[in-house]
Amino acid sequence: MKKDYIVTIPARYKSSRLPGKPLKLINGKAMINHVWDLCTKAVGKQNVVVLTDDIRIKIHCLKHNISFFMTSKSCKTGTDRIFQFAKQNIYNYYINVQGDEPLLSPSSIKKVLNFTKKMKCSTNCYLECTDIDYKNINIPKVVINNNKDLLYMSRAPIPSSKIKDSQIIANKQICIYGFTYNDLIKFGKTKFKTRNEIFEDIEILRFLDIGIKIKMLKLKHSSMAIDTLEDLKKVRKIFENKFKKN
């Protein structure tokens, strides 16, 4: 019998743009601890697990009483880590919270979980993006139809217009995903990255490439993924200012 849901936090040490990212300190606490705390506030400790292939993150989790599951080093993406976990741990729904999003709101995690269960399909989130976000190649932009289905996602500025200086309303991806068990298994059994996934370096495009629909949910709370050292400095400053106010 399937369990209802699990919140997973894929955590990779060997990030190409920011090595050791999950263990980088923010306000005296490792990034992975911040994300763990947000997730456990949303759904409770018994419903959250960190997925990693690195012994340093394993040791850190043991030290801080964080539940973890070791995946192989061959995983191509964070979602492939969840697929490996799902082969041994069957749930109806898997919520994927990126380990580099320490500014997420617990209410957003709950909202994604409830939305995924309501829609009974795989999901992702978005917010309107600023002009700076629109031009930032580290931030995936999403194109959505009138039914809130994901049409495409790119690090390039999309949608675009041939009319110079036209006013464009664009949306950016927020990295909380919801997967059904069946969709996750189909994703993982696709042994190679798909063409658009490789080209854009965005794993969610594999779902679209193999014909799986993704429903999009607009969130109320903004967030910021940490991809680079500059991002880390910005988030540290946000926490520093928040600490001063409190």
pTM for this prediction = 0.94
pLDDT tens-digit series, residues 96-121: 999 999 999 999 999 999 999 999 99
Measure the N-to-C terminal CA separation of the chain; round to a whole number of Å: 46
Minimal CA–CA distance to 141: which of 124, 156, 162?
156
Cα–chain center distance at 238: 20
The CA R_g of the chain, rounded to the nearest whole Å, is 17
Region 128-147: mean pLDDT is 94
pLDDT tens-digit series, residues 180-206: 999 999 999 998 999 999 999 999 999
Residues 6+ apart with CB under 8 A from 238: 103, 224
Percent of the chain with pLDDT over 70: 98
